[in-house]
Structure 1
Amino acid sequence: MSSKHLYLISGLGADERVFQQLRFPDGYEVHFLPWITPQPHEPISSYAARMAAGITADGQVSLAGLSFGGIMSIEIAKLRPIHQTILLSSIKQTSEKPAYFNWIRRLQLTKLPDFIIFQNRTRIVEYYMDVSSPEEKQLLRDYLARKDYAYSRWAFDVILNWENEFRPQNLVHIHGDKDHPFPIKYLQPTHIIRNAGHFMVYNRAVEVSQILAEVLS
C-alpha cells in the first residue's frame, strides 16, 4: 500500500505553530511546507513552482492551505498531481475575492510607506484574525514582530491581483461564517463552522480536525 502524505501551508507571515492544535487522521505522514523568499515582482506561478519543489515525499500527496496558503495550494495543484486540496479560511476563485480588495487596489494602499502599513497594526490584525485568548494574541504578535516587509508586500499584491477559475480535484473548502478577511457572503465553501473567524484553525481546532478526519478518511 502506498504511503499518504499531507503537506500544510500556513497563512501569510505564519509558520507551523498555527497548526499545532489540529489532530490529523491515522495513516498520514504530516509535513509543513515553509514559505520561501520571493524574487522581486515574481509571478505566483513561478513562486508556486519553486515552493512545490519542497514536496519530496513519494506516494499520495494532499495539501491543506490556510488563508494565503490555500491560494498557494491551488497554484501548486495546477503544476503537479495532488490527491486532495483542502482550503482553510481561504478563497478558491476570482469571484470569491471580497469587494474591499478593489478599494485597496484602486487606492494603491499597498504602496504606502512601511511605517504606515506595518507599524501599530496589532489591534487591527487581532480583530481581523479573531483572536482572543492570551496564547492566541502572543502567537499573532510573534508573527507581527517579524520585519520581512518585502515578502509581505509581495504577498499583498499577489492576493489582491490573484485571478483563478481552476478547481483542483477533490477540493474541500472549510470556512468560518464570521471570517473577516474573506467574508462568507462571497464564498461557497463545502464546510461551514458556525461562529468561527479567520483563526479557526487554532481556536476551533476540534471542529476543523473532525472535518479533516472525514474528508481524509
Structure 2
Amino acid sequence: MNVYFLSGLGADKRVFSQLTLDDQFIIHHIEWIKPLKKELLSHYAGRLVAQIDTTQAFQLVGLSFGGIIASELSNIVHPEQIVIISSTPTGVPISKFYRGLVKFLLLSPFAAPLLKSTNSLTYKFFGADTPELKTLLKDILHDTDSKFLKWALIRMSSWERKTRAENLYHIHGSADRLISIKLVKPDVVIEGGGHLMVYAQAKQISAILNKKLKSEEY
C-alpha cells in the first residue's frame, strides 16, 4: 500500500523521522512546491497530484497544514483513507476582522523574520519542550521559504471547508496550542500531546498509524 505523507507548514520529512511503520507500507513524502500568486488551496492541491500514483490504491497522512491539503486532495483524487495529525478536518471559525488582521500582519515586510524566529513563545506554541525538539523546530523554520509560509498561513485562516472528507481519521494532542483541541473533534486524543507530537510521541503515533493503515482493511 502506497502511503503519501504531507508535512506541516514549511516542514519536511524530518518531522516524521521518528516514526516506525510496518514494512508493508511504501512511504512517499510529498514535496511542497512554490505557490502561484494568490493561488487557492484547491488549485495548489491539484498541482501536487503529479506526485501521486493514482493508478494504485493509496492513503494520505497529513500533519497540520498537510492535513488541510490532504482534505483538498480528496476532492480531486480518491485515497482509500486520510489520516490527519495535529490538524483540522474543517475550517475553524474565524471572524472577518481576524482574517483581515492576519493578512495585514503577514503582508508586512517585518512578518517573515518574525515568523521564522524561534523564541520561548514559539517553543511554547509548538510544544518544543526538549533541546532536541527546539533544535528541530529551529532548523525547520530556518529552512522554510518565507513566501510559502505567509501564503499558507493566509490560506489556512480563510479555509472554509464545512464537512469532513470521506474516510478521514483524526489524531490530535490534548495540549496542542496551535490548534486547540477545543476547536476540533478528533477520533483519538493523545494525552499531553503538543503540535509536534508526531516527533515527540512517535512511538504512540506509530502504533496508531500501523493499525489504521493496514491495507487488508480495504
> Structure 1 length normalisation: TM-score?
0.90
Matched residue, 2:181? 184
Equivalent residues of 2:54, 2:77 under 8 A apart: no
1:213 corresponds to which residue? 210
- Report the Cα distance in structure 2 between the residues aligned to 1:98 and 1:121, rounded to whole angstroms: 27
Name the SS for the 1:31 alignment partner. strand
In 2, are the aligned partners of 1:25 and 1:212 still within 8 Å (CA)? Answer: no
Task: Check whether the contact 1:104–1:110 (CA below 8 A) recurs between aligned residues.
Answer: no
Tell me the number of residue pairs that the alignment of Structure 1 and Structure 2 aligns: 211
Equivalent of 1:110 in 102, 106, 111: 106
- TM-aligned CA distance change 1:37 to 1:27, over 3 Å: same
Task: Provide the C-alpha distance between the structure 2 equivalents of 1:175 and 1:98, rounded to a whole number of angstroms.
Answer: 18
In the TM superposition, structure 1's runs of 4+ consecutive aligned residues that sit over 3 Å from their partners are: 101-104, 115-122
Q: Percent identity?
A: 36
CA RMSD for the aligned pairs?
1.8
Counterparts in 2 of 1:105 and 1:190: CA distance versus 1, 3 Å: same
Q: What corresponds to 1:201 in structure 2?
A: 198
Letter in 1 for 2:123: E
Residue matched to 1:8: 5
Partners of 2:151 and 2:29 in 1: CA distance: 21
Aligned residue for 1:20? Answer: 17
Alignment-derived partner of residue 157 in structure 2 = 160
Q: TM-score, normalised by structure 2?
A: 0.90
Equivalent-residue separation in structure 2 for 1:117 and 1:102 (angstroms): 23
Describe the SS at the equivalent of 1:155: helix
Secondary structure class of the residue paired with 2:60:
strand
Partner of 2:125: 128
Partner in structure 1 of residue 33 of structure 2: 36
Structure 1, residues 101-160: CA drift from partner, whole Å, max 9, x if none?
Answer: 766424232222235633644332211110122221111111121362111111011100
